[in-house]
Structure 1
Amino acid sequence: MSVYDIPPGEPIGPYHFEWTDEEWLIALEGHVTIRTPEGELGLDPGEVVCFPVGSGGAHQARNATDVPVRVAVLSTMNEFGIVEYLEDEQVGIWAGEEHYVLDRPKPHKGG
């Protein structure tokens, strides 16, 4: 589990989804705004949202208020992982302690 303090007007990170890990976000303090493929939703302290594996679980948490927000993020934390950063056209790959961010490759045409 990781705990994040999000300053006013800031996100935790880029809009992304995981290919290998399901994630859960728990609002601890303040009101956090969650961006998803279906639109935005707000979470108040004690509320939880789950981000499933795949593009349907795309998300970004941000603080749209003028006071600090605190959240906890839990994950299945597989040893090997792949994440797509949708607006940056990048892919993150990690295995153990190694972590790489690459430009998203073009789809393979077979052969």
Structure 2
Amino acid sequence: MTIIKAGTAKRDEAGQDDPLGPYRAELISDTGHLTQFGAFIEELPPGSHSSYAHWHRSEDEMMLVLSGEVVAIENGVETVLTPGDAACWKAGDAVAHTLHNRSDAPVRYIVIGTRAAKDTVTYPNHDRVLHFDRATRERTYTTLAGAPSSGPLKS
């Protein structure tokens, strides 16, 4: 058993220069060396996005708001989420989703998702598909039509 005390998990963060805005994440499952699912607590300051709108072919994903307010955007439909609200995205369902903090205070939420050996992540608004192999850590990108792509996102 691995106990992870508050404030001791591995961290990931981005600054003001990130195109999605700054964020801070506590990587709970990585710190605990879990392999079957990922779990992290993310904090988004006002104005930040969680990700580019995307959906996973092979991985379930869910989030639960702990504090603050965030807008979940699913295929362009917006829903305000507050503490205790959750969103679930089933693997293979083409529901492109992202979160946007439009409030004037930080929002904190936990994200939990399966970790498939291989996954395909579709970014429909950017004409990109990520093909990811967890064992080799290899990432390749194509366009939505399947043509090779030189970069992760269309400018």
TM-score category, normalised to shorter length: 0.7 to 0.9
Counterpart residue number, 1:45: 83
Deviations 1:50-103 (A, max 9, x none): 112234432101101111111111112112111001111111122125142513
SS at match of 1:82: strand
If you compute each CA radius of gyration, which structure gives the higher value, 1 or 2? 2
Q: Mind listing any 5+ residue stretches in structure 1 that lack a counterpart?
A: none
Q: Name the TM-score, length of structure 1 as normaliser.
A: 0.86
**Structure having greater relative contact order (Cα 8 Å, sep ≥ 6):** 1
Q: Is the 8 A contact 1:90 1:101 kept in 2?
A: no
SS at match of 1:100: strand
Higher strand share: 1
Q: Is the 8 A contact 2:124 2:144 kept in 1?
A: no
Does 2:137 correspond to 1:104?
no
Q: Which runs of 4+ in 1 moved over 4 A?
A: none
Shift of 1:38: 6.3
Pairing 1:75-94 to 2, within 5 Å after superposition:
75-94=113-132
Q: Name the TM-score, length of structure 2 as normaliser.
A: 0.63
Question: Structure 1 pair 89/30, CA: closer, same or farther in 2 (3 Å)?
Answer: same
Counterpart residue number, 1:58: 96
Count of residues in Structure 1 that have an aligned counterpart in Structure 2:
108
